[in-house]
Amino acid sequence: VVVSREASGQRSETVRRANLSTIVRELHLRGPLSRSELVGSTGLTRGAIRGLIGELAADGLVREERSAPIGTPGRPSPLVRPRPERAAVLGLDIAVDSIGAALVGFGGHVIDHVRVDRARGHLRAERIAADLARLALPLIERNDARASLIGVGVAMVGVVRLSDGLVRLAPNLGWQDVPLGELLAGRLNLGLPVTVANEADLGALAEHRRGAAVGVDDLIYLSGEVGVGGGVIVDGQPLTGAAGYAGEVGHMPVNPVGASCRCGSIGCWETEAGERALLRRAGRSGSSDRAAVDAVLAQAEGGVPKALAALRETGTWLGIGLAGLVNLFNPSLVVLGGVFGRMAPFVAGEVEAVLDQRALRGPRDVVRVIPTRLGADATLIGAAESAFEPFLVDPAAWLSPRARPLRLASA
Ligand SMILES: [Zn+2]
């Protein structure tokens, strides 16, 4: 078999791009690493690492620093440090009662971020897109980040079609079939791709990469707010379903004689385990905002029996849905985000007890339920991580021509 020179050239180019991707991903997820550590974690040769780091350094994406001698013999291996100011993304978050924006640099450094509360209730998508642009554009300007921006990621409380960022349904905002990706791309006018995904899916991604679930390949992130969202990671990969709609755990039917849900069904999990259910049980049916939830949590802190009982009953329903998820997905970790993270100290006993009663022994034995580590910003960080993904997959596409290795015209 004769392999043409052209074909083998293409193949080595493919290998080079794949190797660059491996190195860039390592640096993004783990931060500064020595060349020796990169050799160890990527399996590439010292020579290959040296060459590829040289390309990244020539383009300013990394800086090499002499690492401090650590008392061991031998030449210290230079430390390769990602430069967050050289490649950055904009993460945006649309929650039911707030919007947020963050600038995150290569390596995961949060350069700047801002979140503002907004009143709950239905708002037109155009209005929220305009508000987000008003929040994000000054953030970009004051950090002089325009030139280094490589993408925009958006976290959204709703059912989102991944291919184009169409929000099929956001019951708690009153949206149906809103082309959010398109709207935001127009409002921001940055000339960058805008990817939109469900907030709980992005919370899962964030906890997996930067939070409570680093190194854990099978996990469920639950986000509690007005609704209940879920993000599932199986074998290290996000579970998206055919179009990106998977993980709508809040609409699992759990109570056939339950309350009607905003999705049009009856007795969905979020009607029993969500914020409204908690407030109803705490005797605050009319109110539905964060201040009311804060008040119940503060009462529980102070030992008020009614608040504690409301939390315990909500915890029982949380456990019932979780038992089903644990049986289905066999996660080793369940991360409680949003209001569930704050409820965790008061509901952990009920959740564990219900799992003991209702989940199968096998999956029950291996699962731990813990609160979020990233808190309210998990979804924002996930949005930023999703915007980094095309860059991590093929960083060579972002390198300027001067960073490319020299090639002879007719080798
Ligand atoms: Zn529902």
Tell how far the Cα of 226 is from the centroid of ligand 1, in angstroms.
Answer: 12
What's residue 78's pLDDT? 85
Tell how far the Cα of 139 is from the centroid of ligand 1, in angstroms.
Answer: 36
Tell how far the Cα of 74 is from the centroid of ligand 1, in angstroms.
Answer: 63
- Nearest one of 390, 347, 389 to 222, comparing CA atoms: 347
User: In the predicted model, what is the mean pLDDT of the chain?
Assistant: 92
Tell how far the Cα of 229 is from the centroid of ligand 1, in angstroms.
Answer: 11
Residue 406 has pLDDT above 60, yes or no: no
Tell how far the Cα of 355 is from the centroid of ligand 1, in angstroms.
Answer: 23
How far, in Å, CA of 330 to CA of 338, rounded?
Answer: 22
What's residue 71's pLDDT? 58
Residue 215 has pLDDT above 80, yes or no: yes
The two structure tokens encoding residue 395: 């960083």
Tell how far the Cα of 384 is from the centroid of ligand 1, in angstroms.
Answer: 28
For the chain, percent of residues with pLDDT exceeding 70: 94
Residue 69 has pLDDT above 90, yes or no: no
Taking residues 299-322, what's their average pLDDT? Answer: 98
Amino acid symbol at 293: V
- Nearest one of 42, 48, 45, 84 to 63, comparing CA atoms: 84
Tell how far the Cα of 254 is from the centroid of ligand 1, in angstroms.
Answer: 10
410 confidence band (pLDDT: 50, 70, 90) = very low
Per residue in 360-381, pLDDT (tens digit) is: 999 999 999 999 999 989 999 9
Stated pTM of the model: 0.91
Residue 399 has pLDDT above 90, yes or no: no
Say if strands 79-82 and 98-105 run parallel, antiparallel, or are unpaired. Answer: unpaired
In contact, 20 and 395? CB cutoff 8 Å: yes
Tell how far the Cα of 270 is from the centroid of ligand 1, in angstroms.
Answer: 7
Tell how far the Cα of 268 is from the centroid of ligand 1, in angstroms.
Answer: 5
Taking residues 196-214, what's their average pLDDT? Answer: 96
Per residue in 98-157, pLDDT (tens digit) is: 999 999 999 999 999 999 988 777 789 999 999 999 999 999 999 999 999 999 999 999
Taking residues 197-209, what's their average pLDDT? Answer: 96
Tell how far the Cα of 259 is from the centroid of ligand 1, in angstroms.
Answer: 10
What's residue 402's pLDDT? 60
What's residue 73's pLDDT? 61
User: Phi, psi at residue 64, to the nearest 5°?
Assistant: -100, 130
- CA angle 306–250–312, rounded 5-degree value: 20
Tell how far the Cα of 312 is from the centroid of ligand 1, in angstroms.
Answer: 22
Tell how far the Cα of 251 is from the centroid of ligand 1, in angstroms.
Answer: 4
Per residue in 168-187, pLDDT (tens digit) is: 999 888 899 999 999 999 99
Tell how far the Cα of 313 is from the centroid of ligand 1, in angstroms.
Answer: 20
Q: 199: helix, coil or strand? A: helix
Residue 68 has pLDDT above 90, yes or no: no
